[in-house]
């Protein structure tokens, strides 16, 4: 537009502080989108893998077959929980066989499934550690970048009005500094909004996966009870 402000020229001619602020915001935005794309792909793969494994799990009564399927499906958090539970089951059986303290069925009938529940919980925690990686970084970017942009805004306004002290009292004297300030605010929001938006989306997906894993934990214990206590494996 004729007579308008050239934003790119203004930014190029802006002060060092404003340029550093804009560079920090740009780097934050690049990091944010990198995490968003990686986490979106990871959670999508986990959800699809869980659905596939859970279908196989519900369609089979053989622990050995399910364990083979779990080993071939490492992206599933449910398969991770199953492997931890199955490993603990085998350790209990080996320990009882070595000590001659009775059968596995008798052991669980007398002592309950606490050891298996702890093993499942370990798998649950490991899966959450994997899913939560870098999600908190999005929260940090979403909360910090607006303030970085605000700092650039305040600095730009100060720089703009400092021109008045030199005798330049026209709007042309303060317009570039104000433009710098507004651009810093806009860039700060542009970096923060996607980070906060996807942080909430990913948290909701992780909560859904956690709910499914808790249900799977109960299904696993039910299968163990049917397979071990009733000797139907």
* Residue 10 vs residue 197, higher pLDDT: 197
Q: What is the pLDDT of residue 161?
A: 74
The per-residue pLDDT for 178 is: 76
Whether 198 maps to a domain, the answer reads: yes
**pLDDT reading at 26 higher than 60:** yes
Say how many domains are in the chain: 1
The most confident of 30-44, 108-122, 156-170, 183-197, by mean pLDDT: 30-44
At residue 116, does pLDDT exceed 80? yes
Domain for residue 56, yes or no? no
Give a yes or no: residue 10 inside a domain: no
All residues at 6 or more sequence positions from 26 whose CB lies less than 8 Å from its CB, including other chains: 187, 191
The chain-wide mean pLDDT, for the chain, equals 85
Question: Does any domain span residue 130?
Answer: yes
Number of neighbours of residue 126 by Cβ within 10 angstroms: 14
Residue 128 pLDDT: 95
Is residue 113 very low, low, confident or very high in pLDDT (cuts 50, 70, 90)?
confident
pLDDT at res. 75: 94
The band of 2, judged by pLDDT with boundaries at 50, 70 and 90, is very low
Query: Has residue 64 been placed in a domain?
Result: no
In tens, the pLDDT along 152-210 reads 888 878 777 776 665 555 666 666 667 777 888 888 999 999 999 999 999 999 999 99
- State whether the Cα torsion 67-122-216-80 is positive or negative: negative
Residue 111 lies in a domain: yes
**So what's the pLDDT on residue 232?**
42
Write the DSSP string, 82-95.
Answer: HHHHHHHHHHHHHH
pLDDT band for position 101 (cuts 50, 70, 90): low
Contact by Cβ (8 Å): 81, 50: no
Evaluate whether residue 149 is within a structural domain.
Answer: yes
Q: Is the pLDDT of residue 31 over 90?
A: yes
13: confidence class by pLDDT, cuts 50, 70, 90: low
Q: What is the pLDDT of residue 194?
A: 96
The whole-number pLDDT of residue 109 equals 74
CA distance 37 to 60: 35
Calpha distance 67→92 (Å, rounded): 17
Kindly state whether residue 44 falls inside one of the protein's structural domains: yes
What pLDDT is stored for residue 230 in this prediction?
61
Query: What is the pLDDT at residue 1?
Result: 44
Percentages of the chain per state (helix, strand, coil), in multiples of 5: 85, 0, 15
What is the pLDDT, as a whole number, of residue 6?
A: 62
Which range marks the domain in which residue 146 is found? 16-49+71-229
């Amino acid at each position: 537009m004729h007579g308008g402000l050239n934003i790119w020229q203004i930014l190029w001619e802006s002060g060092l502080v404003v340029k550093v602020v804009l560079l920090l915001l740009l780097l934050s935005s690049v990091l944010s989108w990198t995490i968003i794309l990686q986490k979106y792909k990871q959670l999508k793969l986990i959800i699809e893998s869980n659905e596939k494994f859970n279908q196989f799990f519900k369609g089979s009564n053989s622990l050995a077959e399910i364990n083979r399927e779990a080993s071939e499906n490492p992206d599933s958090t449910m398969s991770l929980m199953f492997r931890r539970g199955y490993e603990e089951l085998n350790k209990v059986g080996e320990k009882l066989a070595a000590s001659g303290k009775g059968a596995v069925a008798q052991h669980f009938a007398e002592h309950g499934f606490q050891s298996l529940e702890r093993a499942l919980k370990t798998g649950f925690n490991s899966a959450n550690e994997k899913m939560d990686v870098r999600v908190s970084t999005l929260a940090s970017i979403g909360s910090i970048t607006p303030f970085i942009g605000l700092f650039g805004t305040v600095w730009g306004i100060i720089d703009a009005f400092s021109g008045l002290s030199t005798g330049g009292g026209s709007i042309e004297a303060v317009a570039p500094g104000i433009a710098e300030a507004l651009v810093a605010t806009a860039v700060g929001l542009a970096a923060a909004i996607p980070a906060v938006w996807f942080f909430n989306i990913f948290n909701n997906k992780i909560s859904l996966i956690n709910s499914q894993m808790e249900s799977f934990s109960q299904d696993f214990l039910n299968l163990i009870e049917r397979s071990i206590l009733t000797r139907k494996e």
